[in-house]
Structures are given as structure tokens and as C-alpha cells.
Structure 1
Amino acid sequence: MKQNSVSQLYFSNKDLTERLEQILAYIKTETPFVLDKPLQKSSWWNSKKIGAIHYSGSFNNTPAILKIQGTKPTTSEALMIENFTNQNQSQLIRAPKIYLYLPWQEKLEFEAIIMEETNHQKIVNLPASNLEITTFFNLYHEYKKKCLNKPWLEKPNISLAEQTLKNFATWQKISAEIHPNHPLKKSTDPELIKKGINHLAKKLDKTTWQFMHGHFSTRDLYQTNKETIILSNLYWSWRQPFYDAVFGFHWYQYDLANTENISLETLLVQRKTWKEYILNNIPQTELDHELLELAFLERNLAGLNLDGLISVSPKAKALIQLTREDIAKAINR
């Protein structure tokens, strides 16, 4: 069983909305799911290409969520959830219960999962309190100890350094297509990114892969009674060490920047608090510290290249400049 590389599918993906009406009609005919309203559309970096859509509704009179996946994964999310659940030893973290799975339909090009309603009670708000940050990383430690007992996916047959170069080659092409003239870009960014990628690949040359949830973030953890449900289960995969420790922080800062009622000062304080917590609580050895810094570098490069190219605002400008500075420091460290 092989892992998914969702971002690598960007160029082959068709916009799901173009065939959505037919897909919904099929689901209405073939399942007892009763549609209520759309909840979320998933696109690649705010592009016009929609890869998945979530709907609220009910399944046999039970509140439920319908997820329609419009890009064919290498391994289905339903199979990921099954394998995760089979080896998961945590009493606190689990995947959502699946009520019905529709395997990939070649004609309409989609698969679908009908799963339990999560009640949308997030673990962390915007901005986060110190207690919420602590709670998030307590869950991270629980996940690392009890949710990763037996990897069920094949380890990639290329080195971590090679995969890193491959990832950024794809992400740079995507950035050029989606944001060819983004106002947050500077003429010096391509050279800085190039230096950063080469530095990162060199440092990762002898580093081994680690198995993890590749989307462990505040967006994907929801409280239900005394349990936490983890979503985005397409992203279980082998990645560089501590990617999962940094990923949540990485996207949380962009969520802060995109939230109107949060000031630049609050963003900067939150960013500092999150990063200090990670640095002070995650690594246990000197090697851990080195690998964690490389995980921060990888996400900063992704941010400067594509992730951080969000709507222009003083917060966005400050954040992208801090990203440049962090990359330069990492290269020269």
C-alpha cells in the first residue's frame, strides 16, 4: 500500500465542481444520505481547482458528514482510516466512524465517504490561549506515543533528500501557475529559495524517513465528548522528522494572518509563543534540535514559495518577511 501525494496531483486534477451536480444526483440515488448544506471546499492553495467538498446532512436519521473526493488517491481515505484504526492504541484520539464508503467511480471521477458528524468543536481557536496551545501539544505527544504503532504504508523507494527536491520542483511550478505576479513576491526570492532547498537537501541526505500523519493541525482536530477526532486521513505518510511537529504551527500563522479581527501584534506574539513552545517541548536530544530546525526550514521554504502567498495585508507582508529572515538564518547557521 502506497502513500498519497496530493499536491503532486495538481496538474492532472479536474475541477470537481464541473461534475458536482451529477455526483450529488448519484449519491442521492445510491445512498440514504440526506443532503443539508455545503461545509467546506478544498482547493490547492486557493486556486480555482476544487479537489474535495464536504457537506452536512444525515445518514439513516443520524447527523453525518459527506466528503466527496474528486482527485483519485493512490490509497483511499477509507482504507487509511481502517488501517490507522486497526493499529491505534490511543483512548483519546481516533479517526471518524465511517457509515458508508463509495469506492472510486471512473465515470464520474469521484469517491465518497459518509462519516460521523464531528460537531465542529475545535481544540484551538484564533487566537489561541496558552491552555489551548498546551492542549494541542498534549494531543501531539499522545499521537506520537500511541497512534503510530505499526506503519501500514510502504516506505518511499527514494531518499528523503531526493523526495524533497522533487516536492519543491512541483511546488515551484504550481506557484508560477497560480501566483505568477503575486505582490508579496520579491525578485530575490527565487535565489533564496534555491539556496534553501539545496541546503535542506544536503542536510537531509543521510536522514531517514519517519511515518506520521502529514496534516496534524488545528484544522483537523475536533473534540467529541472526551475523544478527539483526527481528520485529513488521506495524509498518513512517510516524511522528514518533525514535519508533523511544525505543520500545525505553519498553517496556524496563515490562519491568523487571514483573520480580519486579529492584529499584527497578536499575530507576532502568537507566532513567537507557538515556536518557543515547540522548541522547548518537542526535541529531546541535540540531534532532535537539528532535525526540528530542518523541519522549520522546510516549511519556511514552502511558505515563501507558495503557502504564504495569501491576500495582501500588513500581517501577510510581515509574515512573509519573517519567513525570508528565518530562511537566511537557517542557511547561514
Structure 2
Amino acid sequence: MSNTILTHYAKKLELAKKADKFLAEIIQESGFAPEKEIWRGLILGDNKKAGSVIYIGKYKGGPAILKIQHLKPVVNEPEIIRLFYKNSKSQKVFVPRVFFEGPWGKKRGYGYFISELILGRRILGRQEFCRFYEEYKTKIKIRPGWWAMKAEERDVVTFNLKRLESWLKIVQTSKMLKPSFYQPKIELYKKILKKYGSHQPMEFMHGHLSPHDIIKTPSGKYYLMSNFLWSYRPQWYDLAFNLWVHINDLPEISYNELDDYIENWLVAYKSTKMVRKDKYFERYFWLNLLERALGSILVDFGSVKYPAEKRKMVRVNFERWKYIFNKAGEKAQF
């Protein structure tokens, strides 16, 4: 079982129309006092496809966060949070505590929970991220995972080909890319994946590990957000995902500078004990980055219509990930 996002793209979602109705019901049921909406989870930026919404407000007189989950989760986020604390021995890495919850119900079409408000800053530096990562990987028990694997999660090749299927549906729906452009990349990816990814392990992890989802408080504690996204992923996917987010946040730079940027992150990753123990780390890392590059080309920057003010950087990122796709493809086969 796992909670995913893009697989829901084709579903009819009504949160954009019914958020106020859902909120009114929750206020009556829980006593939450909303102050303002602070985030809306749009699937591929589509305003008609919101899967969740978050409000800041008060609960029993104290600051709190309300998350309304419109997409049906396989595992409710409050349950994942309970599993985190059951499996964690860390005194440094935490997740927000849940005060109140209303499990997802088919009849009402949503679930929700109220949790503590976490204030702090994002961690952006390589060394600080690696210190956090070692704590997260060594003090939180992830073997075996917190729930049973689905059949398609048992090996990397099957898992990634299944993800590719969902991307192709989006690409074919958007019609923004020509098959003559993307089909050769898909065939190359499949060839590399099947040849070099068949022995890569699947691991349970936070599937969205990035500076946007790690908050460091003034007291030095780290809090993981987006806990809806714990799931099974290819080994070292979390490190590739973190770099993927950082690269997407970069300004326009030369490809030589981009090469140096990636190499500096790799050096930092290889400074951690667990990475140094894995002689296959670099191959698996590049396979994961290859997957992130293909997803960026096909979906994130190839099938989404962005507002005019963002289109310049969208084009920069599209070209950037084409370059990284070629580089990662070569590195994964080395």
C-alpha cells in the first residue's frame, strides 16, 4: 500500500468547489477556528484538481494546523504519524503531533486532522541535510516497512514502469509533447532500467524528502512534513529527490555550473556512513536521478501549462532536465 499523487490526476475532484462546505462541517465537529488558508495541493498545478487544503488557526485556544484530505488515502496520515512514533528512537527528528482527526469517509468525501503548528526554517545546506539524513535513516526503523508492499512495489523495474504508465497518460492527455520527441527517451530509459535496476532494492522511506518538507525549529529539532507520502521507493530515491527539488529551485546557470552543483551534492552524500557502505550507491543514485529527469521532461515541465511569468524558468528547467537525462543515462551505465 502507498499514498500517491499523480495516479489520481484523471479522477474527478471537487475540493475546489466544496472546500468551504467541508470546512464548515469540520468547524462544527471539531471546534477548530480557522484564520486563513495557507496551502492548496494542486495536482500538476491544475486549479480544478486540488487533493488537499491546509488552514492555520486555533484549536482549544492554541495555534494549530488543519489539513483536509480530499483524495482518498490508502493509509490515513494520522495513522502514518502514529507509526512514525512507534518506529522512531530519534531525539532530533519528529513529525507534528495530531490533536484531533476525522478519518476519510466515502459519503462525505474527505478526511481531516488537526495538528500542532511547527515554526522554523528550511534546511538548505548540504552538510546540514546530511546530518539530518543520517539521524533520519539510523534512528527511525524502516525495515520492514510500516505496512505490506503491493505487488508492483516489490521490485524497482516493475515499480518504475508502473509510474511511467501514469506519466504517459498525462503526456497523451496534454498533447504538449510529440511522440517523436519523447518515445526514444522512454525506450532508452526502459533499456537502462531493465539492465541496471533489476537488483536495486526497494525501501520504505519518506517519499518527498526535500527542503520544502523539513523544518528545523529554533531549538534544533527537525520536523518532517507531508507525511502522507511515506511509501516504498527505490533505494536512495530520497537523496535523488532532494537534489531534484534543489535543482528545480536553481536560477539559470551554465551546464558546467550544474555539473559542479550535482557533484558537490554527491560528495556530501558520500560523506555519510551509510552511503559509503554501499558500493552500488552511485549507480542507484544515477538511476533514480534518471527517473526524476524523465518525469520532469514528460510531466512537470512538459505537460503543464504554466502562467506567463513562470514560462522562462519552465523552459530553462525543461532544457536542464534533458541535459541531466543524458548525463544520468551515461552515469548509470558506467
TM range (shorter): 0.7 to 0.9
Which residue of structure 2 lines up, in the alignment, with residue 325 of structure 1? 323
Contact 2:9/2:43, CA 8 A, preserved across alignment: yes
- How far, CA to CA, are the matches of 2:121 and 2:254 in structure 1? 23
Which residue of structure 2 lines up, in the alignment, with residue 127 of structure 1? none
Which residue of structure 1 lines up, in the alignment, with residue 247 of structure 2? 253
Change in Cα spacing, 1:264 to 1:330, as seen in structure 2 (3 Å) is: closer
Show CA shifts across 1:119-158 (max 9, x none). 253223xxxxxxx232122211211111234421212323
Which residue of structure 2 lines up, in the alignment, with residue 75 of structure 1? 75
Contact 1:89/1:147, CA 8 A, preserved across alignment: yes
Aligned residues: 316
- How far, CA to CA, are the matches of 1:294 and 1:250 in structure 2? 13
Change in Cα spacing, 1:325 to 1:226, as seen in structure 2 (3 Å) is: closer
Change in Cα spacing, 1:272 to 1:61, as seen in structure 2 (3 Å) is: farther
Show CA shifts across 1:232-272 (max 9, x none). 1111111111100011221232234xxxxxx4239984774
Show CA shifts across 1:164-191 (max 9, x none). 11111111212333x4226xx7952332
Q: Which moved more, 1:316-325 or 1:61-70?
A: 316-325
- How far, CA to CA, are the matches of 1:85 and 1:207 in structure 2? 28
Which residue of structure 1 lines up, in the alignment, with residue 62 of structure 2? 62
- How far, CA to CA, are the matches of 1:106 and 1:191 in structure 2? 42
Which residue of structure 2 lines up, in the alignment, with residue 4 of structure 1? 3
Please state how far the C-alpha of 1:313 moved relative to its aligned partner: 4.3
Contact 1:253/1:267, CA 8 A, preserved across alignment: no
Change in Cα spacing, 1:269 to 1:196, as seen in structure 2 (3 Å) is: same
Change in Cα spacing, 1:187 to 1:315, as seen in structure 2 (3 Å) is: farther
Which residue of structure 1 lines up, in the alignment, with residue 148 of structure 2? 154
Paired letter, 1:326: I
Equivalent residues in 2 for 1:121-140 (5 A)? 121-124=121-124, 132-140=125-133
Structure 2: which 5+ runs fail to align? none
Equivalent residues in 2 for 1:219-238 (5 A)? 219-224=212-217, 225-238=219-232
Q: Give the secondary-structure state (helix, strand or coil) at the position aligned to 2:249.
A: helix
Paired letter, 2:21: Q
- 1:211 has 2:210 as partner: no
Q: Which moved more, 1:79-88 or 1:321-330?
A: 321-330
- How far, CA to CA, are the matches of 1:267 and 1:16 in structure 2? 41
Please state how far the C-alpha of 1:18 moved relative to its aligned partner: 1.8
Show CA shifts across 1:83-123 (max 9, x none). 01111111111110111111113222001010111125322
- How far, CA to CA, are the matches of 1:47 and 1:198 in structure 2? 32
Paired letter, 1:43: L
Change in Cα spacing, 1:97 to 1:269, as seen in structure 2 (3 Å) is: farther
Which residue of structure 2 lines up, in the alignment, with residue 108 of structure 1? 108
Please state how far the C-alpha of 1:319 moved relative to its aligned partner: 2.8
Change in Cα spacing, 1:245 to 1:16, as seen in structure 2 (3 Å) is: same
Change in Cα spacing, 1:320 to 1:186, as seen in structure 2 (3 Å) is: farther
- How far, CA to CA, are the matches of 2:114 and 2:106 in structure 1? 19
- How far, CA to CA, are the matches of 2:70 and 2:12 in structure 1? 8
Contact 2:287/2:329, CA 8 A, preserved across alignment: no
- How far, CA to CA, are the matches of 1:17 and 1:120 in structure 2? 29
- How far, CA to CA, are the matches of 2:193 and 2:69 in structure 1? 33
Q: Give the secondary-structure state (helix, strand or coil) at the position aligned to 2:57.
A: strand
Which residue of structure 2 lines up, in the alignment, with residue 240 of structure 1? 234
- How far, CA to CA, are the matches of 1:266 and 1:31 in structure 2? 52
Q: Give the secondary-structure state (helix, strand or coil) at the position aligned to 1:286.
A: coil
Which residue of structure 2 lines up, in the alignment, with residue 164 of structure 1? 160
Equivalent residues in 2 for 1:83-94 (5 A)? 83-94=83-94
Change in Cα spacing, 1:270 to 1:59, as seen in structure 2 (3 Å) is: farther
Which residue of structure 1 lines up, in the alignment, with residue 15 of structure 2? 16
Paired letter, 1:234: F
Paired letter, 1:264: E
Show CA shifts across 1:210-238 (max 9, x none). 11111111111112222111011111111
- How far, CA to CA, are the matches of 2:24 and 2:261 in structure 1? 48
Contact 1:162/1:201, CA 8 A, preserved across alignment: no
